Amino acid sequence: MPVIVTASSKGGAGKSTLTLVLAQALDAMGATVTIIDADPNRPLIRWRGGKSVSGVQVVGDVTESSIIRNIRDESARRQFVLVDLEGTANRLVSRAITQADLVLIPLQASALDSNEASRAVGLIREEEETLDGRVIPFRIIMTRTNPLITTKIESGIYRALEQAGLPLMKTRLHERQAFKAIFVRRAALSELDSSVNGLPAAIENADRLAAEVVDLITDKPQRTEKIEAAHA
């Protein structure tokens, strides 16, 4: 079943937040979801160690030698496999990308970050070259956006991405206290108490994200075979 990898060439771009929010929204839709936490800092393993009764499973202890097997094993059992990577380019990251049905590249609306997006896209294109022509679908997603206004910097980034022909998700992941609180409290969005600012809007944002991802993935023909070349 579909493998969704979040990647960026930089820490702090919002990968882990995006992964967990998306996983929870897919779980809330009734899907079975595993996150492979491939970041040595293990933010999602830590999340799973809390009291949440969320159905999202988290697998850790992955290495560059095991990552492809881990992804295949999980995708045979679960409806969605999400892979959270660390923010540096290395062999584990490359291998995970070769297995993706969709790579999501989070981007914060700052001038610096648009270069980061090009770098992450470059990484995907390099992996495609190792894959005998298989295309790895990807989308850039704006994160930590202000739900009320689109800043000038953000609009500038949209234009730059468009000119560069880089595809952007319609849904943005807004800056929300709830998206931090799920990590602090090691909870699901639905388990947060209503005192968390903007919780319903955050849940709605998460649901919209999941719906767009499901749409994207079901539009695409299922990947044919997963790539032996990745073991090279």
Ligand X SMILES: Nc1ncnc2c1ncn2[C@@H]1O[C@H](COP(=O)(O)OP(=O)(O)O)[C@@H](O)[C@H]1O
Residues that bind Mg ion (CB under 5 A): 15-16
Phi, psi dihedrals of residue 105, rounded to the nearest 5°? -115, 100
Least Å from the CB of residue 26 to Mg ion: 18
Site size toward ligand X, by CB under 6 A? 16
Among 6-14, 45-53, 54-62, 93-101, the segment contacting ligand X (CB under 6 A): 6-14
- Among the listed residues 2, 4, 15, 94, the single contact to ligand X using CB under 6 A: 15
Closest of 88, 120, 134 to residue 229, by C-alpha: 134
- Among the listed residues 56, 92, 96, 173, the single contact to ligand X using CB under 6 A: 173
Closer residue to Mg ion (CB): 16 or 70:
16
Closest of 34, 33, 59, 32 to residue 45, by C-alpha: 59
> Is 204 one of the binding residues for ligand X (CB under 6 A)?
no
Helices (DSSP H) in the chain: which residue ranges?
A: 15-28, 43-48, 67-77, 91-98, 111-129, 152-163, 177-184, 199-219
Closer residue to ligand X (CB): 64 or 175:
175
Closest of 211, 183, 189 to residue 24, by C-alpha: 189
Residues that bind ligand X (CB under 6 A): 8, 11-17, 87, 143-144, 173, 175-176, 179-180
